[in-house]
A and B are shown apart, each in its own frame.
Chain A
Amino acid sequence: MRILIKGGRVIDPANRIDAQKDIYIEEGIIKKVSTSIKVNKSNVKVIDARGKVVTPGLIDMHTHLREPGREDEETIASGTRAACKGGFTSICCMPNTQPVTDNQAQVELILSKSQKEGWVNVYPIGAITKGLQGEEMSPIGELKKAGVAGITDDGKTVENSLIMRRALEYSKMFKLPVISHCEDKNLSAEGLINEGYISTILGMRGIPRQAEEVIVSRDIQLAEMTGGHLHIAHVSTEGSVGMIRRAKRMDIKVTAETAPHYFTLTDEAVKTYNTNTKMNPPLRTRKDVQAIKQGLQDGTIDCIASDHAPHLEDEKNQEYELAPFGIIGLETMLPLIITELVDKKVLTLREAIKKLTVNPAHILGLNKGTLSPGANADITIIDTKTRRKIETFESQSNNSPFIGCTLRGFAVCTIVGGRICMAEGELVAG
């Protein structure tokens, strides 16, 4: 298939491009990026992108797909549909499925299933320890060979510092980032929301920010010691941002992501006991939101990831204490970034796109996130102007605190490997 995308504002941070250009695609590969391309061939699908923004396909490096094990919440098919709808062409799926992604066979299974049923590229992330038990390293070399893009025990911290040290050392041989969910379980002590004024008046057990920060601190020290690549998942506190900033200045190999809810919401949102405000780490306070924005601005936080965590309505429609942690995010991430960061001048659109394309690609060692001629034709076209109310989702779950919010900046077209998977805001079955 031949595609010509005409007249859009092309933002390709990897190539320092931000200008009106056309893009020509043939056989799934980007052939040419230039002003006014004319193609003298038949069968060229022309996409009018005037007034729109054309970027490398967006990458979400932190998604929970739930398959295998909880296909009632989300499947590879439904999760990648949600990704496609949200403008993502590549996602990384976390290993805390049932069974856990801690062996070659499971990685191969996910890859072959996503090849068949997936709407976008799926990169599995392997477990650091077998069964996420924190006791024995999983076969990291074997996982790499099978195709994982990183390793993590997400959902938990590797409590044993020696095992974390070994993982950071060993993964160096395979150039895999070690993605750390930072939480000292003894300190979070079965807490439900951020510890502070709101937890006090709501009478809910608090999770102090230090539950995150003591592990961020430990892991940075281990990264310094080992030279391994540490990636901090879902940064939520001011203290974490500060430590990561200092570590980067010291040239320690640490990268970081945050999720949209950590720069848009505070624990004030919990006051109605809406269980779609329950996630881990929890929503923090205004000064944390400020610090996260600052961290995004000065580059301390490299990328924005969804931590898309689907749960059934019945699971969420319970007492706050009984409801599971997590919210979906694939379909609200881009509009939240545009509405809350770009429109409010925290980031330029170009900086924002960088955190969704070349930065995650670089962290994960993926040959993605650019519009260079010769690259796979993964492209997202964004309408940054139209406002829309968040109501329904392609995801199988709808546990989002943003339902009812009017946001701006939605993906209108997603091209994955030269195939148009979404056009004019609607999924295109192929």
Chain B
Amino acid sequence: MRLRDRNLLGIETLTPEEIKLILDTAVPFKEIFTRSVKKVPTLRGKTVVNLFYEPSTRTRTSFELAEKRLSADVLNISVNTSSIVKGESLIDTAKTIEAMKADFVVIRHSMAGAPHLLARTITASIINAGDGMHEHPTQALLDLFTIRDKKGKIENQNVVIVGDILHSRVARSNIWALTKMGAKVTVVGPVTLIPSHIENLKVKVAYKLDEVLPHADVIYVLRVQRERQKQHLFPSLREYSELYGIDMDRLKKCKKDVIVMHPGPMNRGIEISSEVADSNFSVITEQVTNGIAIRMAVLYLLAGGAEKVEEGE
């Protein structure tokens, strides 16, 4: 089986079978890490451009490691956000990349739809590494992989996503992915940070965290951005933290085997307490490890996925 599209622009358009294929493909890639030789030749001779319009060391290094472990030639282009307005347009940058004969472009951009514009402009396969508030598909895939790994299955898991749903591409991709795979999703946060019509995505909406936590199998904590306070979305970080911060007192009321996830980077003491982040409930570091395997799987499948995953030479 293969992926239908040559790009990965979002989870919305993937079928459950495709999601399962990516997760299954990531399993042997994760095993490869445990070997002394961590490289496979799958993408030898292929060029991957990491085009980052937003600084994100975390996502970029994860992609870079995945690309290098598949033996690809890697080129990093970081564009200062301030130069979007004045500098070279995305279209012109795309044409330059096209001239370099890149096979893949991994793009991170602060504006929704930028990967789609790129996909319309050039022939390389485009991987969306986060576009504005729209989607962050590889993040959702690595989160699903982590849940499946920890819980054995995704179906019927109660996943509570806490925080700023409105501005979160991670939340959107996770909602698509989780609901497609049969999980039960509840979003909880201040009413000002819950986007309109979100219930159309087959999620439950709640405002009181403590009422939904006891049923949770997975607590997914979103990062809260300080600037939201200035946009009249909540009065203060302190109040936010009191209402929606995940701390040990709250975890005590949860199921014993609940897991806590976070896409990083964390604001310790605001949306998540340090104690929780470093506890056994937290799977945050596993998410990081799994991210590399998932990104290898995505690149491998978009490259055609024909050859079997080979052993390192």
Contact = CB atoms under 8 A, between A and B. Distances in A.
Contacts of A320: 111-113, 117
Contacts of A174: none
B306 interface: no
A206 B111 CA distance: 14
Given A203-B172, A320-B112, A196 B196 contact: yes
A40 interface: no
Contact of B197 (A200, A204, A321): A200
B67 interface: no
B74 interface: no
Given A203-B132, A273-B117, A318 B196 contact: no
A199 B133 CA distance: 10
A152 B136 CA distance: 43
Nearest to A208: B196
A201 B111 CA distance: 14
B12 interface: yes
Contacts of B85: 322
Interface residues of A, number: 20
Given A200-B195, A201-B201, A202-B112, 8 more contacts: A199-B196, A200-B196, A202-B113, A203-B132, A204-B134, A319-B117, A321-B113, A321-B132
Interface of B: 12, 84-85, 89-91, 109, 111-114, 116-117, 131-135, 169, 172, 195-198, 200-201
A297 B200 CA distance: 32
Nearest to B119: A273
A373 B12 CA distance: 61
Contacts of A197: 196-197, 200
A319 B92 CA distance: 12
B196 A206 contact: yes
A201 B112 CA distance: 10
15 contacts: A196-B196, A200-B172, A200-B200, A201-B12, A203-B132, A203-B134, A203-B135, A204-B112, A204-B132, A205-B133, A273-B117, A317-B117, A321-B112, A321-B113, A322-B111
Contacts of B112: 202-204, 273, 320-321
Interface in A273-321: 273, 314, 317-321
**Closest 3 pairs between A and B when the two form their complex, measured CB to CB:** A203-B134, A203-B133, A273-B113
A201 to B, nearest CB: 7
